[in-house]
Amino acid sequence: MRKRHQMKGIFCLEGLWDPDLRVGSTVRPLLELLRLNEQISYVHRECATIEEFEFYVTKWVQKRYDPYPILYLASHGKENGIQLGQDFYLIDDLAELLASKCSDRVIMFSSCSTMGISLRHLRQFLEKTGALAVCGYRVDVDWMRSTAFELLLFLQMQNNEFSGRGIEAIQNSAAEIAKTFSDLDFRMVSVKDLAA
């Protein structure tokens, strides 16, 4: 049984999935399921512009949001970034914004192909931000399958501490779960990979 103080909340920033605002695609039901069944708290904000995104990202690293060490970025994406409305936001820009501010935190890109970049580039992202891990997909993914995978991954994050040893256990569990979802081509790079 997990104790409440071990819970790791999720800070979700979600991009617009469709330019037609009548289309109601959202990751909120996943977050609600985790809250209702696992008591995992979350913050959810929609971002249609780079200014909104950066505003909320800088909120995430404030002390009051320490109980939400998982930054969950749900949006369209392509190699090396995410789509925010009409604009493409590079992970290098995110690294600059979060420089040395992500101790004991994990950043998850729930977006197509964002992680389809070199391991060297991802190591630089970790070194710059100080995050324990960065993860996401190297290819375009199916919404339902990626949602199912992310549900299992978030549960594994709850079962382990956010430390060097704990993140290694999460990384190993993620690799096992990813075998069932091999079409997603999930990748997690952690602080242990910096030493390799």
Neighbours of 151 (CB within 10 A): 15
User: pLDDT tens digit string along 118-129?
Assistant: 999 999 999 999
In the chain, what are the domain boundaries? 8-194
Fold of 8-194: Rossmann fold (3.40.50)
How far are the Cα atoms of 39, 57, 75, 98 from residue 62, in angstroms, in the given order? 22, 9, 23, 11
Distance CA 16, CA 100 (A): 28
Give pLDDT tens digits along the chain (196 positions). Answer: 233 346 899 999 999 877 776 777 899 999 999 999 989 999 999 999 999 999 999 999 999 999 999 999 999 999 999 999 889 999 999 999 999 999 999 999 999 999 999 999 999 999 999 999 999 999 999 999 999 999 999 999 998 999 888 999 999 999 999 999 999 999 999 988 887 6
